[in-house]
Structure 1
Amino acid sequence: MIKSMTSFGRAQNEDELNSCFSIEMKSVNHRYLDINIRMPRNMLSLEEKIRNIISKRLNRGKVDVFINYKNYGNGTGKINLNMNLAKEYYECLRQIQSELNIIDDISVSKIAKFPEVITLEEPQEDLDIIFNKISPLIESALNLMEEMRIREGEKLKDDILLKVNTIEGLVEEIEKVADNVPKVYKKKLEERLDELLSGVDLDESRIALEVAVLADKAAIDEEITRLRSHLSQMKSTLDLNESVGRKLDFIIQEMNREANTIASKSTDISMTNKIIEVKNIIEKIREQVQNIE
């Protein structure tokens, strides 16, 4: 089953009265599985567990995970006042006032806004309870991503198969042109020699040798056979029920190698045009394969 690496999933526990967890996950194509998690600092120790859940479901892709936590409060927080720090701030303000001779606007509210003067100490939460709450949400978000990956993957598969069939048709045309190249070359060579050596008997064995040398240099039978084999492998790989992105990428490289060899041996303009078209289609397939898991 072909899966795209582009996907998005979101889940939230809306039944909680005192707190709410929401999870958003998105992924794009990447050579390997790269997971980036952003979550509240008090939950950082759960990162490895969250990674394990995701890595069991996804094989490739750059995955960004955003975990948000809202605590609506239940009166359990403790307010701390750092009076010594407040006094130091006050003395500093008095010194500024005295030395710069400015209006005294020192107030309690101003001092209270300085960092660390008044802090709220949240109670230590049980991370096991938190993990039990967010793990089902992660699975739900992954389910949505999975559905999206499958839908996008099916579209990619259909389009790639269409392009593979087009290449197969072009390969047949190239093979027909290649088979006729020696005959065309022989005819042109005879016409050219007859024009240059009018009235002189032509050495048929020499002409046959020249044609044979050209035919050997321009022979693309092996390349055509390998290219067809790669096209067949691509079709069968697209039907596998596993992660096939890397395998498809390798097949594309081999297809491109054979197409380049055929292009280098081409001595016919129509064959050259057709193999250029094949290379263009291979490049389009390669771009799509980059997004397959």
Structure 2
Amino acid sequence: MTGYGSGSSESIDYTLSLEIRAVNGRFFEAKVRLPRSASSFEHFVKKRVKEVCRRGNISVLVGIDLNSGENGNVQFDRDAFENYRSILATIEEDYGARLDIDKVIDMRDLLQPKQDIEFDPKLLKTVLEKALSQLDEMRSAEGFVLRDDLSARTTALRNYLSEIEENWKQMSSEIRKEFESKITKLLDGAEIEEVRIIQEAAILAEKLDVTEECVRCRSHLDQFEALLDSNEPVGKRMNFLLQEINRETNTIGSKSNHLGIIQKVVDMKDEVEKIKEQVQNVL
């Protein structure tokens, strides 16, 4: 799920700020940008972010703003600038691609304190937890919206099933009448017990009956809706249930040539695909 969080905290020498952005993704991928003085903490940041997010494309940006005073004076890092410029020149010479230096580097990467500052890892942990808390709140809010959307879509599927069953009642009656008419023409006046005709028509109708498929679909929907209120990871189970619902829907379609049923089967398959897309955002 998407989300944003930020946090900042001050020490005597500097203010540490952190921003975290998350977008949807099937797997966990984190990109962390830290100041040089804090580069050794990249693994710590990634590990903590994964504990909270578990999935998605995550971007973390950490910045240090030096406070005014003796330790707050900064200087231009000429060596870093020349290194960037050399790399860009090599890219242009070897590949013919010209990149603007201001689009490649952040100005903060070129500013260094005149005196070494003592980086406080506790400060990093504080701002990281602030940002993660905000991010989690935003993602939770999106989760409630997603839950309502999925609930509405399962209700739509139930309505389609009810319409299919109504159409089936009409279809079964038509099957019996059509069967009796064909038998009468084939016999060409010969006598046959009406009970036998009714029995044969019932056998044919049973082969085309979609009641069992509708019952199983409702059972799968009951299980799916129960997962909407679960606090555990349910994404894989939801995907499995959607596969089963889709399979039962295909069976209903293969059994029927009734226009009304076929249309509802198409509607159900379309709705299931929309639910699948949304479930990709569920752990």
TM-score by length of 2: 0.75
SS in 2 for 1:64: strand
Match of 1:12 among 8, 25, 28: 8
1:244 and 2:240 are equivalent in the alignment:
no
Further displaced range: 188-197 or 218-227: 188-197
- What letter is aligned with 1:8? Y
Unmatched segments (≥5 aa) in structure 1:
83-118
SS in 1 for 2:238: helix
- Kindly state the Cα deviation for residue 64 of structure 1 after the two structures are TM-superposed: 1.4
SS in 2 for 1:154: helix
- Kindly state the Cα deviation for residue 268 of structure 1 after the two structures are TM-superposed: 1.3
Match of 1:32 among 3, 8, 27: 27
Task: Tell me which residue corresponds to 1:109.
Answer: none
Larger radius of gyration: 1
Within a 5 Å distance, the mapping from 1:77-226 to structure 2 comes to 123-127=115-119, 129=120, 131-192=121-182, 194=184, 199=189, 201=191, 207-208=197-198, 211-212=201-202, 214-226=204-216
Task: Tell me which residue corresponds to 2:51.
Answer: 56
SS in 2 for 1:267: coil
Which structure is richer in relative contact order (CA contacts within 8 A, separation 6 or more)? 1
* Offset from partner CA, 1:134-184 (integer Å, 9 cap, x none): 111111111111111111111111121122122112212212333443331
- What letter is aligned with 1:238? L
SS in 2 for 1:233: helix
- Kindly state the Cα deviation for residue 214 of structure 1 after the two structures are TM-superposed: 3.3
* Offset from partner CA, 1:248-290 (integer Å, 9 cap, x none): 2332222222212212222211111112222222222222222
Match of 1:280 among 254, 270, 280: 270
**CA RMSD across the alignment:** 3.2
- Kindly state the Cα deviation for residue 47 of structure 1 after the two structures are TM-superposed: 1.2
SS in 2 for 1:160: helix
SS in 2 for 1:291: coil
Unmatched segments (≥5 aa) in structure 2:
80-110
TM-score by length of 1: 0.73
**In the comparison of the two structures, how many residue pairs are matched?**
250
- What letter is aligned with 2:66? N
